[in-house]
Amino acid sequence: MKELNIITPVLSVGYDELSESDRRLVDAARGMTRKSYAPYSLFSVGAAVLLDNGEIVTGSNQENAAYPSGICAERTAAFYANANYPDARFTAIAIAARDTSGEEVAEPISPCGACRQVLAEYEQLASRDVKVILAGRGNIYVLPSVKSLLPLAFTSFE
């Protein structure tokens, strides 16, 4: 028997410590929280994907009374990015949220399991690490890759 230890590197930074490119991505994700359709949970999430062609593609969560027919912000942005820029590859994603009171969450939130798996697929397609930025009001977490969020991800058979 062999024990494996999986270590996830996470940088906790302030907004001013981000690069200009990362600040633009966080700003886009934060802006999308205001475009969310979340009448049931009242929890608004925004995501912004940076593509290698320089485009930033955004998305927000979209709820539906026929739960779970809605979709998360991360998948909205990811699917839109690939549908409209099929030859571009992901380089980074930022995620932000507002709580039920409408305030930006103090601490960063992390993608759900389904979104992690979808993002892992796009990271694999990119053939490189895709930076993940999780933005809260008080802290911003920067992870070097989607693999950091889902280290034992299911990937296609080769």
Among the listed residues 72, 75, 136, 150, the one whose alpha carbon sits nearest the alpha carbon of residue 107? 136
Tokens 């359709």 — which residue? 37
Q: Is 74 a catalytic residue?
A: yes
Catalytic residue among 74, 121, 123, 158: 74
For residue 54 the two structure tokens come to: 């320089």
Are 32 and 60 within 8 A, CB to CB?
Answer: yes
The helix/strand/coil state of 44 is strand
Run of H or E including 32: helix 20-32
Run of H or E including 51: strand 44-51
Active site residues: 74
